[in-house]
Amino acid sequence: MAFACQRNSYLKELVSKVATCVSVANGKFEVTLNDTVLFPEGGGQPDDHGIIGEATVSQVYRRGAEAVHVVDRALEIGSEHRCLVDWKRRFDHMQQHSGQHLLSAILDRKNIETMSWNLGESVSHVELSVGKLSAELVDAVERECNELIRSRQEFTVHYLSKLEAENLKEAKTRGLPDDVVEPIRVIEIQDIDKNMCCGTHVSNLSDVQGVKLLHTESKRGNVCLFFLCGNRIFDRLNSSLDVERKLNKLLSCGTEDFPGTVDKLKATVRLTQKSSKTFLKELGRYEALDQLDNDFIFQHREDADMDYIFAFTNALNADENKHKTEHKVVFVAGGPIKTGGQFVLKAPCDKLAELSAPILEMIGGKGGGKKDQLQGKATSFKQLSKVRDLIASKVVKTEETASQAALNTPEEQASLQEFSNFSYWKVPLPDLPDTTDI
């Protein structure tokens, strides 16, 4: 026997008698009724929500010939209750499901078979037996669907025995399930399509209101074609208009000027980023020169990146400055105080051995490098003042002496890029900013 919701898909309420009620997990109960207005999931259509008397129905599923309702309270066996379906949800499902039958029928006329379909929460799709669909074909299918909706063809439900259904040639099916229960329903769209289906459908194509095809995606070599039907088209249009109005204000232009305005903005941003990078590198050089005569060199900028750090250390290492810096401790860091960033610590070997471990601990850092240089990434710069104090405490004011090892020769600088390959690196080096598209 078909359920009341299948005999009349427009039925919104029904008085039903409780046949069974069983306690299940999580304080829920499973209830069967002598008949139901609530559709159990099937045929690609999700289940209904609603109420049975005072009980809220959160799920309905089919078990053989029965619809099992999962409810939040026990219901007395034999008691009668007014059952109400969440009509907004149900009618939405009817529009999407009947729209899918129409869409698949039109695609079928073009020898494109529907392998499966999904009724999603906001958008649905059919998976088709082709590798791709042209935009022209998609436009033509959408136009045809909407022309037929205006033709107001009837949806009719036929009931057949299992044997009759198996012998029926003209009705499409993807195979009857093993636990199929007679009678088997065939949904006919007048002069267009016959399809075996257990779902709830509109009684006339005009209730589908419209079909809007969206985009396609590839799946297992097939194409998934996404679509909206009925009220979902208006919902999507409303949210698109809302976004459009916000963009009108943000960009101070009409909708038709969006592409040109965004192109201009992107070009401006690219130019600004390029200038800002150049300025930051220049700043690194000047700020390094400013510290040449200090006993030790300590620098941090929240907005600095690796380019800035290199510009800073390159300036210290320049031939004309090397004699002032090669025996000094240098700490340069870039990144937010809270989340840290990148750093370079350079010092004569003995001092670096002394300073590395405590500084790494203070900045939550990891890194590697050479005997006179440590480079890496820090997770916080909150204790930078302690780092500075520690370095200051280790520095003995001396006159510059002959070079033991260059602070940062060009060869060493170039090799910084290769550190991430060293086996003793604990973490990969942060990526350098990609400047190729700027």
User: Which of 42, 46, 199, 365 forms a contact with Zn ion (CB under 5 A)?
Assistant: 199
Closest to 17 (Cα-Cα) out of 28, 37, 4, 32? 32
Q: How far apart are the C-alpha atoms of 329 and 316, rounded to whole Å?
A: 11
CB of 187 to Zn ion, least distance (A): 6
**Where are the extended beta strands (E) located within 318-409?**
330-334, 342-346, 366-370, 373-377
User: Which of 43, 284, 340, 341 forms a contact with Zn ion (CB under 5 A)?
Assistant: 43
CB of 201 to Zn ion, least distance (A): 7
User: Which of 5, 197, 288, 315 forms a contact with Zn ion (CB under 5 A)?
Assistant: 197
CB of 154 to Zn ion, least distance (A): 16
Q: Which stretch binds Zn ion (CB under 5 A): 35-43, 142-150, 264-272, 363-371?
A: 35-43
Contacts of 332 (CB under 8 A, 6+ apart): 297, 299, 300, 304, 309, 312, 313, 343, 344
Counting Cα atoms < 13 Å in the Cβ hemisphere of 419 gives 26
CB of 43 to Zn ion, least distance (A): 4
Do 99 and 225 form a contact (C-beta atoms < 8 A)? no
Do 177 and 165 form a contact (C-beta atoms < 8 A)? no
Taking the least distance from each CB to Zn ion, the nearer of 188 and 326 is: 188
Taking the least distance from each CB to Zn ion, the nearer of 199 and 365 is: 199
Taking the least distance from each CB to Zn ion, the nearer of 197 and 374 is: 197
CB of 342 to Zn ion, least distance (A): 58
Determine the 3-state secondary structure of 438 from DSSP. coil
Beta-bridge mates of residue 32: 20
Determine the size of the site formed for Zn ion (CB under 5 A). Answer: 3
Binding to Zn ion (CB under 5 A): which residues in 228-267? none
CB of 14 to Zn ion, least distance (A): 22
Residue 430 has what DSSP assignment? P
Supply 191's token pair.
């002069």
Binding to Zn ion (CB under 5 A): which residues in 104-133? none
Taking the least distance from each CB to Zn ion, the nearer of 204 and 314 is: 204
CB of 73 to Zn ion, least distance (A): 33
Determine the 3-state secondary structure of 359 from DSSP. helix
Taking the least distance from each CB to Zn ion, the nearer of 43 and 46 is: 43
Taking the least distance from each CB to Zn ion, the nearer of 50 and 199 is: 199
Determine the 3-state secondary structure of 150 from DSSP. helix
Q: To 10 degrees, what angle do helices 258-289 and 231-251 make?
A: 50
Q: Which stretch binds Zn ion (CB under 5 A): 106-114, 199-207, 360-368, 369-377?
A: 199-207
CB of 117 to Zn ion, least distance (A): 8
Q: Which stretch binds Zn ion (CB under 5 A): 197-205, 230-238, 254-262, 409-417?
A: 197-205
CB of 62 to Zn ion, least distance (A): 14
Give the DSSP per-residue string, 17-75: EEEEEEE-GGG-EEEEESS-SSPPSBTTBPPP-EEETTEEEEEEEEETTEEEEEESS--
Residue nearest to Zn ion (CB): 197
Q: Is 42 in the site for Zn ion (CB under 5 A)?
A: no
Residue with tokens 């088997």: 184
Q: Where does this chain bind Zn ion (CB under 5 A)?
A: 43, 197, 199
